[in-house]
């Protein structure tokens, strides 16, 4: 593998790790966001209510105080003025009224003896003017009320007030008329100080809301860590269990729901480990039985085979002394002995695969010559068409390749009929992410990244769709009503095992033109696979190590 490929693989592994961490963090993020939203909602609601209550309290207190002083000044000072005051009298009285503790501006409006409207302003000519008073307030102040109108105030003229905003500054405007005749008085008080106090309060509440939000996020992070750390450990333990490390357990502490979940996981893992161990023991016993049976059968089968060969020679000789009456029985014995011999050999091969003792003996193979030799040895030359260029070499196990080809071609001839077409081509091998390293001689393999594709196609009726997923199963019969056939039901399974030991695969499908197609894919050079297999076996022989998945 080149440095660029290694870098690309490292980037892909990093991306997968980042995605895994993102998937894990997303739950943490959701918890933090929910905590923050709850805290933000509560803090904003509390701050809004507090601000509204304090605002009303501050403004109402200031307003009531100013209106009370203005009413008192109107009664004490403006009430002493004559019914037709002069402008100087109004001016002097307005200045005296504005000198109170509330510091508001006063405007007095009356009529002198000539009927002219005169004004008295506490701020001079550029101070509070009648135009500063809203029209609606002036109308309400000058309107005489009928006695007994249900307000509780029996005076014909009442005190009215209104809040206005001028150039961003809030003001309180009030007005009333002197009872019994006299000037009309208006008051203008700035609420800027109160507005600044309320703005300061709003900033304080906003800062408090922000601090509450930060505190909620920190608490949510701590809570998420407390909750998700055991969940993460449980996920790690589940992945290890799925990888086959059945001795994985969680350390349990506490009595909460997560501790109960960890105990349940440990109990399930323990039960699974026990069941798998029992199944492995039964499987091992079955394999041992098959191996022992195969070995025990070989000795008597060798003797029987020798006898049947003699009988077969007698049948084929021109001067044979075999009674014609028993000739069919002798031929049946010869046929069944061969079938039994093939079955024992197949069982021996299967037990080697199950025990993991099957090994490759690699050699450089010309594929066209190898396939031709396989066909010729079984007298299939007239029934098989070969489409393979000479000079396509591969480093494989010739004996196992012969077994694969014999099973595939024999199966096609038996179930599909001739002609059977065998084609060979070279294709690029898909990158499975594994680092193939360098060949045994220290240099990169000459055929690294390529694979051999051998397709065996017949011209029969094809394979039923419900049978396709099971064609490589051991002892599988397409028809349950005919469990006995000339084959052992192990040929395609053994072919698949031999493909796997090379690092290859066999697939079965139906051709659109008719017939079944079995496609064999093998790496062009199996040397690196053999080396890695030997290293893995050596590492396994050195002993494994168990570790704990962590504390829940």
CATH of the domain at 398: 3.30.565.10
The DSSP code for 77 is: T
Domains identified in the chain, total number: 2
Residue 113 belongs to a domain with what CATH number?
A: 3.30.450
Write out the H or E segment, with its range, that includes residue 9: helix 3-76
Domain finish residue from 164, 179, 197: 197
Instruction: State the residue for tokens 């009333």.
Output: 176
Q: Within a domain: residue 328? A: no
Pairing relation of β-strands 105-111 and 184-190? antiparallel
The DSSP code for 84 is: S
Q: How far is the C-alpha of 438 from the C-alpha of 430, rounded, in Å? A: 18
Q: Within a domain: residue 470? A: yes
DSSP 458-477: --SS---TTTGGGTTSTT--
The DSSP code for 130 is: G
Q: How far is the C-alpha of 461 from the C-alpha of 340, rounded, in Å? A: 29
Nearest CA-CA partner of 195 in 54, 335, 74, 80: 54
Q: How far is the C-alpha of 307 from the C-alpha of 30, rounded, in Å? A: 80
Q: Within a domain: residue 186? A: yes
Domain finish residue from 166, 197, 228: 197
Q: How far is the C-alpha of 204 from the C-alpha of 187, rounded, in Å? A: 32
Q: How far is the C-alpha of 54 from the C-alpha of 246, rounded, in Å? A: 66
Write out the H or E segment, with its range, that includes residue 538: helix 527-541
Q: What is the 3-state secondary structure (H, E, C) of 442-455?
A: CCCCCCCCEEEEEE
DSSP 347-400: HHHHHHHHHT------EEEEHHHHHHHHHHHTT-TTTEEEE--TT-EEEE-HHH
Q: What confidence score (pLDDT) does residue 405 get?
A: 92
Q: Within a domain: residue 476? A: yes
Instruction: State the residue for tokens 């396709």.
Output: 468
Q: How far is the C-alpha of 91 from the C-alpha of 99, rounded, in Å? A: 13
Q: Within a domain: residue 309? A: no
Q: Within a domain: residue 502? A: yes
The answer to whether the Cα torsion of 379, 385, 389, 392 is positive or negative is negative
Q: How far is the C-alpha of 365 from the C-alpha of 359, rounded, in Å? A: 17
469: containing domain: 359-541
Q: Within a domain: residue 549? A: no
Q: How far is the C-alpha of 373 from the C-alpha of 380, rounded, in Å? A: 10
Nearest CA-CA partner of 304 in 343, 337, 328: 337
Q: How far is the C-alpha of 427 from the C-alpha of 30, rounded, in Å? A: 48
Q: What confidence score (pLDDT) does residue 154 get?
A: 62
Write out the H or E segment, with its range, that includes residue 195: helix 192-242
Write out the H or E segment, with its range, that includes residue 529: helix 527-541
Q: How far is the C-alpha of 464 from the C-alpha of 478, rounded, in Å? A: 9
Q: How far is the C-alpha of 405 from the C-alpha of 504, rounded, in Å? A: 14
Q: How far is the C-alpha of 202 from the C-alpha of 56, rounded, in Å? A: 13
Q: How far is the C-alpha of 261 from the C-alpha of 230, rounded, in Å? A: 10
Q: Within a domain: residue 238? A: no
Q: Is the pTM of this model over 0.85?
A: no
Going residue by residue through the chain, which has 552 residues, state the pLDDT in tens, using 9 for 90 and above: 444 445 545 544 555 554 444 444 566 677 777 777 887 788 888 888 887 888 778 878 888 888 888 888 888 888 888 888 888 888 888 888 887 655 788 888 888 888 888 888 887 545 788 888 888 888 888 887 766 555 555 667 788 888 888 877 888 899 988 877 778 889 888 888 888 888 888 888 888 888 887 887 787 777 777 777 778 888 888 888 888 888 888 888 877 777 888 889 889 988 988 998 888 888 777 777 766 776 777 778 778 878 787 777 777 776 666 677 777 887 788 777 777 777 777 777 777 776 666 788 889 989 999 999 999 988 888 889 998 888 889 999 999 899 899 989 988 888 887 789 999 998 876 655 444 444 334 333 445 568 899 999 998 888 888 888 888 887 776 554 344 455 567 788 888 988 988 889 999 999 888 889 999 999 988 887 777 776 666 665 554 444 454 444
Which residues, other chains included, contact 113 with Cβ-Cβ below 8 Å and sequence gap of 6+?
Answer: 84
């Amino acid at each position: 593998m080149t440095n660029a490929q290694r870098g690309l693989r490292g980037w892909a592994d990093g991306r997968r790790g980042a995605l895994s961490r993102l998937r894990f963090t997303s739950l943490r993020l959701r918890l933090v966001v929910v905590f923050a939203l709850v805290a933000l909602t509560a803090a904003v609601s509390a701050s809004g209510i507090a601000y509204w209550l304090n605002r009303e309290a501050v403004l109402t207190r200031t307003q009531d105080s100013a209106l009370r002083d203005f009413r008192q000044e109107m009664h004490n000072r403006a009430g002493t003025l004559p019914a037709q005051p002069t402008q100087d009298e109004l001016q002097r009285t307005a200045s005296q009224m504005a000198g109170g503790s509330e510091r508001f501006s006063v405007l007095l409006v009356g009529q002198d003896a000539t009927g002219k409207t005169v004004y008295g302003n506490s701020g001079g000519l550029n101070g509070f003017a009648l135009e500063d008073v809203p029209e609606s307030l002036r109308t309400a102040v000058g309107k005489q009320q009928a006695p007994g109108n249900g307000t509780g105030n029996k005076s014909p003229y009442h005190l009215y007030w209104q809040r206005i905003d001028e150039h961003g500054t809030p003001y309180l405007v009030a007005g009333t008329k002197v009872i019994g005749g006299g000037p009309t008085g208006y008051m203008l008080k700035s609420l800027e100080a109160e507005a600044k106090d309320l703005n300061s309060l709003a900033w304080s509440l906003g800062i408090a809301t922000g601090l509450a939000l930060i505190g909620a996020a920190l608490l949510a992070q701590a809570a998420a860590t407390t909750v998700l750390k055991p969940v993460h450990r449980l996920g790690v333990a589940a992945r290890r269990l799925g990888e086959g490390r059945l001795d994985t357990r969680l350390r349990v502490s506490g009595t909460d729901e997560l501790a109960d979940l960890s105990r349940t996981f440990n109990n399930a893992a323990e039960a699974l480990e026990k069941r798998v161990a029992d199944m492995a023991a039964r499987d091992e016993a079955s394999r041992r039985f098959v191996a022992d049976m195969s070995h025990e059968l070989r000795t008597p089968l060798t003797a029987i085979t020798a006898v049947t060969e003699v009988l077969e020679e007698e049948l084929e000789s021109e001067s044979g002394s075999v009674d014609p009456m028993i000739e069919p029985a002798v031929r049946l014995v010869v046929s069944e002995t061969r079938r039994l011999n093939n079955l024992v050999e197949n069982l021996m091969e299967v037990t080697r695969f199950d025990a993991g003792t099957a090994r490759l003996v690699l050699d450089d193979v010309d594929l066209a010559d190898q396939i031709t030799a396989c066909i010729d040895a079984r007298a299939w030359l007239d029934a098989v068409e070969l489409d393979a260029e000479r000079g396509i070499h591969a480093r494989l196990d010739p004996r196992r390749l012969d077994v694969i080809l014999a099973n595939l071609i024999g199966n096609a001839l038996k179930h599909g009929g001739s002609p059977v077409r065998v084609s060979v081509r070279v294709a690029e091998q898909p990158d499975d992410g594994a680092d193939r390293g360098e060949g045994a001689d220290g240099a990169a393999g000459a055929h690294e990244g390529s694979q051999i594709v051998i397709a065996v196609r017949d011209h029969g009726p094809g394979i039923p769709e419900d049978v396709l997923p099971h064609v490589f199963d051991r002892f599988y019969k397409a028809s349950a009503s005919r469990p006995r056939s000339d084959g052992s039901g192990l040929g395609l399974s053994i072919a698949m095992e031999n493909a796997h030991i090379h690092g290859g695969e066999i697939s079965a499908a139906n051709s659109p033109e008719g017939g079944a197609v079995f496609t064999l894919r093998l790496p062009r050079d199996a040397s690196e696979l053999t080396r890695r297999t030997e290293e893995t076996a050596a590492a396994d022989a050195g002993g494994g190590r168990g570790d704990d998945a962590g504390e829940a």
